[in-house]
Amino acid sequence: MFNKKTITAILSIAMAAASFTGCSSDNKSSGNDNTKATVLSPDASKSYNVVCTIFPEYDWVKEIIGDHADNFELSYLLDSGIDLHNYQPTADDIIKISTCDLFIYVGGESDKWAEDAIAQAANKNMKVINLMDVLGDSAKVEELKEGMQESEHEHSHDHDEEITEDDIKPREVSEFEGEWQSLYPVLMTGALDEYVEYQAEKKAITVEESRAEIEEKWNCGVKNIIIKGNDITLIYDDGKEVTGTYEYAGFATKKDDTGKITSIRHEFLEKEGNGPKYVMLNDHGHEPADSVEHFHIYFGDNNFDELVTTTSNPFFVDSKLDAEGCLDNVMGHEKGNGHDHDHSKEVSTFEDDEVKDRPLSDWEGDWQSAYPLVLDGSLDEAWEHKAESGKMTAEEYKDYYTKGYKSDYNTISIHDDHIKFTDNDGKVTESDYKYAGYFIQDWSTGTRAAMYRFEAEDKNSGAPVYIEFNDHIIEPEKAEHFHIRMSNESYDAIVDPEGNWPTFFDASLSPEGVCDEVIGHDSKKEEEHDHEHEEGEEEYDEHVWLSLKNAKVLCAEIEKNLEAIDSANAADYKANLDSYISKLSDLDNSFQTLVDSASVKTLVFGDRFPFRYFVDDYGLDYFAAFIGCSAESEASFETIKFLSDKIKELDCDTVFTLENSNKDIANAIISNSGKKDVKIAELNSLQSVSKSDISSGASYISLMQKNYDVLAGVMK
């Protein structure tokens, strides 16, 4: 990802180069391969440079400029077929944006980089269109639908986190130090049957086939490994031990069909000893690590190349883990892909029957309110930390938390069944409390919380009569902090539970300690999809172009900006816009007529779901594996089961996928459902339209028309 300093440096170099080469407005070629609508003639009396990030923007501009294309250099940055979520601008792209007359971008989390490019642009008169800003209140918050899998990875849309070979750093054997056990013997005891069944469901194979496949991958003849310093000792199943001293020799990677790195194997060559000459270790990391949770090992005496191609994948975990711990490790690896597993009990989505009763002792201790620390500036570092996300400024965060943390009480002490409240004036009230059950709160963000309720035994004590604890935990567990709401009338009388969440931390913590807790807690929440309703940091769905209604609004904005830079041809642009909007309206009406007469009103997607705007336009419902911007590619067993049950419940005969999908999830859903007459249909999200597609005649309307044709064949 380009940061502001990088962009500034790129532009400085580019401007310096321009001063030597004598660049002029008659020759604005950027020198890269981005798709252009025209190649400028050096004799053109007036030329305008328009840069678009995504295909719909590019095609809309083409339609509006019409016969005046010779006066424009029109570029489409994502013309290689990569989608917006995985795109990284090149230096040429940044330079192209800097000097253009009109720049059009989506304005969501995936292209936050554009803001710095705009701020550092050389052309200070450049017109800019942010699609999300144009739509204003019509932009929709990302929806975590029932059954949809929450990403186990950070969902901050920093998609530049994808690893390249330049990111891979040398590793030391000592990073893997410890005593390790093979999971193969544990597998053979039946203790990992849950994992075997999970893999069977995911791959749409039988449990027996799954077990045989895993046995073959994990059985390497070694039951234990001891690593100390640079020494690796292998203990074979027959008790034989070999030890070698190893040094780093490089790495090898495996890649998928798109060129994305899927596996990194760090190479170690034996310097001395009687161990295997070649050893490769894979802990899913690309750089030195302080700790390792598990690893895969590959070894032999021939060469590293042979180890890269092997289909075996021996799995080793800490020798101290019992069978349950081994299961947790391998399931965490599968669902989290090996990245910083969070085994805490804090959750933001759950089923009703997962919630358990909790005693007041879970919150026992002496607690301090965070509210005074907001007011005196002790938590300012936390707001600065959060502001790095770019979602709000530090001052805006402080204002937000001032409202959220506001509390009449300075300290709370909980011991046995007794709670003592000390208010901000030092007045003490107290009472014994009895458990009154829990209430499941569904927040506006699509997440949930269990609110544990307690009622004062002495209603005349002056202590709050009705109180609710929420610490993001749904089963008995000691709280690390908590939010508390209260009322003297009833639980239903609690005011604004989403806007005010008085928060209490361990009273022994210093202000700096509380600040660290706030930063740590919020960082974890960001990694869990900003799951807390208290955060209120809503991420908006970027896929605005899939609504024909939005397309009409956005095209009108584009036309207005084209008029501003080329007023001489304003009448033509307006006429072209009117003609194009008529075509968009015709297709829009066709979709509405189709839906109105259809018996099918719900779509099931075995994929990401970028069609939120589209289905809302026509009153359709949907269920899907992931949200539209998810980076996930493998669905959990729970998600596959939910969608399998859903197609049975709805009697669906079609599971949808996106363009370029491998359809593994869709096939697993169908297989798990037991239905024999379910087919897979593909809808195009217009996110990966390439130069060759454009050369073959692809347009916004033609691709949306194909989506209409697909739906017409399904929605009978």
- Each residue of 495-521: pLDDT tens digit? 888 889 999 999 999 999 899 888 875
Query: Is the per-residue pLDDT at 341 higher than 50?
Result: no
- Which whole number is the average pLDDT over 677-696? 91
Query: Is the per-residue pLDDT at 254 higher than 80?
Result: yes
Query: Is the per-residue pLDDT at 220 higher than 90?
Result: yes
Give the pLDDT score at 139. Answer: 87
- Which whole number is the average pLDDT over 555-583? 96
**Range scoring the smallest mean pLDDT among 22-26, 293-297, 676-680:** 22-26
pLDDT band of 112, cuts 50, 70, 90:
confident
Give the pLDDT score at 189. Answer: 92
658 vs 536: which has the higher pLDDT: 658
**Range scoring the smallest mean pLDDT among 131-135, 229-233, 286-290, 308-312:** 308-312
- Which whole number is the average pLDDT over 457-474? 95
Tens of pLDDT, residue by residue over 404-451, are 999 999 999 999 999 999 999 999 999 999 999 999 988 765 678 899
Give the pLDDT score at 21. Answer: 39
Query: Is the per-residue pLDDT at 710 higher than 80?
Result: yes
Give the pLDDT score at 546. Answer: 96
Q: Residue 420: beta bridge partners?
A: 413, 430
Tens of pLDDT, residue by residue over 28-54, are 333 345 555 443 333 344 689 999 999
**Range scoring the smallest mean pLDDT among 37-51, 184-198, 222-236:** 37-51
Q: What's the pTM value of the predicted model, to 2 decimals?
A: 0.50
List, in sequence order, every beta strand (DSSP E) within 211-331.
222-228, 231-236, 241-255, 261-273, 278-282, 294-300, 315-318
Cα separation, 35 vs 79, in Å, equals 6
Give the pLDDT score at 183. Answer: 96
Query: Which CATH fold topology does 4-139 show?
Result: Rossmann fold (3.40.50)
Task: Pick from 4-8, 45-49, 552-556 the range whose average pLDDT is largest.
Answer: 552-556
CB 431, CB 457: distance < 8 Å: yes
Percent of the chain with pLDDT over 90: 55
- Which whole number is the average pLDDT over 479-505? 93
43 burial level (CB within 10 Å; 0-12, 13-18, 19+): exposed
Give the pLDDT score at 531. Answer: 39
What percent of the residues of the chain are helix, what percent strand, and what percent coil, each to the nearest 5? 40, 25, 40
Question: In this structure, is the dihedral angle defined by the CA atoms of residues 341, 346, 350 and 355, taken in order, positive or negative?
Answer: positive
pLDDT band of 608, cuts 50, 70, 90:
confident
Cα separation, 84 vs 81, in Å, equals 10
Query: Which CATH fold topology does 165-336 show?
Result: Lipocalin (2.40.128)
Is 581-714 a domain of CATH 3.40.50.1980? yes
pLDDT band of 629, cuts 50, 70, 90:
confident
Query: Is the per-residue pLDDT at 686 higher than 90?
Result: yes
Percent of the chain with pLDDT over 70: 85
**Range scoring the smallest mean pLDDT among 16-20, 52-56, 601-605:** 16-20
Q: Is 686 left (phi over 0), alpha (psi -120 to 50) or beta?
A: left
CATH 3.40.50.1980 in the chain: give the residue spans: 4-139, 581-714
CATH number belonging to domain 352-527: 2.40.128.20
CATH 2.40.128.20 in the chain: give the residue spans: 165-336, 352-527
Instruction: Annotate 621-648 with b (16+ C-beta within 10 A) or e (fewer).
Output: ebbbbbbbbbbbbbbbbebbbbbbebbe
- Which whole number is the average pLDDT over 94-117? 89
Residue 93's closest CA among 117, 58, 125?
Answer: 117
Give the pLDDT score at 674. Answer: 87
